[in-house]
Amino acid sequence: MKNKANERYSIIIIPRGRSSIKRFEISTRILGFMLVLSVGFFAFFTASVLGLIHYRNAYRATEDVRLESANFKLKSSELVSKLATLEDTVGRTGRFAAKLESILKTGDHMQSGEGPVDEEDWLPATEKDVGKYQLMDKAWRSPFSEPFASKFDLKLDDLATLAAGTEQRLNSAFVLQQDRLFFWASLPSIWPTRGWVTSTFGDFRSFRLRAGGHSGRWHEGIDIAAPHGTPVMASGDGFVTYAGYRSGYGNMIVVDHGNGISTVYAHCSTVFVGEGSRVGRGTVIAAVGNTGRSTGPHLHYEIHVDGQPVNPMNYIVENM
């Protein structure tokens, strides 16, 4: 029986247009080896192509991660710089609030040319030493020795607490200043009408009784004679607590200015405001008249402090 391993195959090459024929013989063993080599080469080529594709994809992914990392570092650097600037601004605002509180509490005023904070506080953040947030030569340096999120959460929490405290202090200072402004605006410091003072505070007034005889009392305000219909103005900011007719006073208005101070406007011919109205200094609230117990057109004007009448002339600061 013939051994298959020794079988040989003939390969005949017949050139076109030529009479010569080329013949090659190849054994089964060599043919198998060539076939195995071809399959191995194809597998190697396929693996190489797949590996190249995988490497290309991996390179692209790595490049994307690298770019994202670089962008993250840049954004982190910007965030660190902004955080440092914010921290500096909050600190400067806190110092301004402290100085404002000191001024409002002591009543002192800043000297000419003196700012609310120190001069160095207004230097740009890039010109000051901001410690671990400082960027040198525009080169990014990682300031994180702890995880990014936890460290910034702590810093932002501190800034939020500081900002909330500063806001509260500024609000308190604003309220205090508003109270002071309201106090000065509410003082009855102007003439309630234009005319002539015919009776001063403390004059003894004598009244004839219907059944005969006389009765008298101290004059609790001043009388300002003026033509009928002359405007009557509120002498300070406040709220109207009474507007109506009262025996002896005629048409009368009472304005509460706060801090225990109130003013009375009596003998008016016409009242222009109602109870509960808010009036400002200089607001026309009535007109001079002759209502009630009066001998001629004039305004009877009183100032009460904690319910006691005081001399209005001590409060009026403008000239007639």
Tokens 């947030």 -> residue: 133
| Domain, as residue range, for 90 | 79-186
**pLDDT value of position 124:** 44
- Answer yes or no: do 210 and 306 share one domain: yes
- Answer yes or no: do 244 and 278 share one domain: yes
Q: 120-164, pLDDT tens digit by residue? A: 443 444 444 444 444 434 444 444 445 555 666 666 667 777 777
Q: 77-119, pLDDT tens digit by residue? A: 777 777 777 777 777 777 766 766 676 666 544 443 344 444 4
Q: Which positions ≥6 away from 319 have C-beta within 8 Å?
A: none
Q: Is 172 left (phi over 0), alpha (psi -120 to 50) or beta?
A: alpha
Query: In 129-145, which positions are buried (b, 16+ CB within 10 angstroms) versus exposed (e)?
Result: ebeebebeeeeeeebee
Asked if 279 contacts 234 with a C-beta cutoff of 8 angstroms, the reply is: yes
- Answer yes or no: do 203 and 308 share one domain: yes
- Answer yes or no: do 115 and 37 share one domain: no
- Answer yes or no: do 69 and 154 share one domain: no
For residue 287, give the nearest of 249, 230, 245, 242 by alpha carbon.
Answer: 230
Which of 28, 46, 73 is where one domain is finished?
73
Q: What is the DSSP string of 94-140?
A: HHHHHHHHHHHHH---PPTT--SS-GGGGS-GGGS--GGG--BTTB-
- Answer yes or no: do 238 and 166 share one domain: no
Whether 319 is covered by a domain: the verdict is: no
Amino acid in the structure at residue 136: M
Q: What angle do CA 48, 53, 54 make, to 5 degrees?
A: 95
Whether 26 is covered by a domain: the verdict is: yes
Whether 160 is covered by a domain: the verdict is: yes
Give the chain's end-to-end CA distance (angstroms, integer): 150
- Answer yes or no: do 69 and 150 share one domain: no
Which of 186, 218, 241 is where one domain is finished?
186
> Would you place residue 176 in the very low, low, confident or very high pLDDT band (cuts 50, 70, 90)?
low
- Answer yes or no: do 160 and 83 share one domain: yes
Q: Rounded mean pLDDT of the chain?
A: 76
- Answer yes or no: do 180 and 207 share one domain: no
**How many domains does one find in the chain?**
3
Q: Which residues pair with 199 in a beta bridge?
A: 223
Rounded CA gap, 250 and 254, in Å?
12
- Answer yes or no: do 167 and 227 share one domain: no
Cα torsion 143, 144, 149, 154: sign: negative
Q: For residues 176-183, give the mean pLDDT.
A: 64
Whether 320 is covered by a domain: the verdict is: no
Report the predicted TM-score, pTM, of the whole model to 2 decimal places: 0.47
Q: 272-307, pLDDT tens digit by residue? A: 999 999 999 999 999 999 999 888 999 999 999 999
Whether 191 is covered by a domain: the verdict is: no
Rounded CA gap, 256 and 306, in Å?
11
Rounded CA gap, 271 and 167, in Å?
44
Tokens 């300070």 -> residue: 236
- Answer yes or no: do 65 and 170 share one domain: no
Which of 40, 73, 106 is where one domain is finished?
73
Q: Is 142 left (phi over 0), alpha (psi -120 to 50) or beta?
A: beta
- Answer yes or no: do 289 and 204 share one domain: yes
> Would you place residue 194 in the very low, low, confident or very high pLDDT band (cuts 50, 70, 90)?
very high
